[in-house]
Amino acid sequence: MILTTEALGKSFDGLRANNDINFTLKKNRVHALIGPNGAGKTTFVSMLIGRLEPTDGAIWFDGKNVTEMPAHRRVAQGMGYTFQITSVFARLSCHENVALAARRRLGRNRAAVDEAVARALGRVGLGERAEEVAGDLSYGHQRLLEIAMGLASMPRLLILDEPTQGLAESEIAAFKALIRELSSETTILLIEHNMSVVMELADEITVLNFGEILAHGTAAEIHANPAVQAAYLGTETADAED
């Protein structure tokens, strides 16, 4: 296991957003996290990456308790993530956006940084757009740029929050191919509402509902689960979000 949570919970002014979540991520697997609107996915992921402090419970990353570790130290430990809303630097070029992430790992070795940037941009299909200003990209391409920024840090765990939002069908097909390739190199936690993407890519799926784990299993098991059908698959649209 590369990540586990033990009885993880979060309350906001008495409102329970997450409750008693025991969750595991196996190394070099694609694990999808799904759930209806308001299920608590964003809160849960925010605790994993250190943006929110849990009310109770613990988070372990690669055998180390990181519950109280700040977000930047988790990145240094090997966690990478993209946000549901893009966090690129709009006035910088695509190259420089990715270089900022690469320098955290490689320091000021310019040749190594440039090589890492070129490789990351190429993998997401933006290799020929390296010098374009990030703010001039479409929303979908900004999402791809953010994934390239995550890849440049060579994470052992890559958390992708709604990565296909804003992508065209052809770009989604390329994204699926990228995830298949990456899964041999790193662990991927995918938070995604496009169920065709989830069902095709995920080795395991965890379903959250009302801040608790409703179900866990393979794509086939989740698709056939009556409780999941009632809570999510039969009613949710592909573009809803927490």
Q: Domain residues of the chain, as ranges? A: 1-78+157-236, 91-154
Give residue-wise pLDDT tens across range 41-80. Answer: 999 999 999 999 999 999 999 999 999 999 989 988 999 8
Percent of the chain exceeding pLDDT 90 equals 74
Of the candidates 61, 35, 76, 53, the residue with the CA atom closest to the CA atom of residue 222: 35
Of the candidates 25, 24, 7, the residue with the CA atom closest to the CA atom of residue 16: 7
Confidence band for 238, pLDDT divided at 50, 70 and 90? very low
Strands across the sheet with 56-61, in order?
15-25, 3-12, 56-61, 64-65
Cβ-contact 9, 54 below 8 angstroms: yes
C-alpha to C-alpha distance for 100 and 124, rounded to whole angstroms: 17
The torsion angle over the Cα atoms of residues 148, 154, 160 and 166, rounded to 10 degrees, is 10
CATH of domain 1-78+157-236: 3.40.50.300
Residue 118 has which token pair?
């070129």
Enter the pTM of the model.
0.88
Cβ-contact 70, 77 below 8 angstroms: no
Q: So what's the pLDDT on residue 233?
A: 66
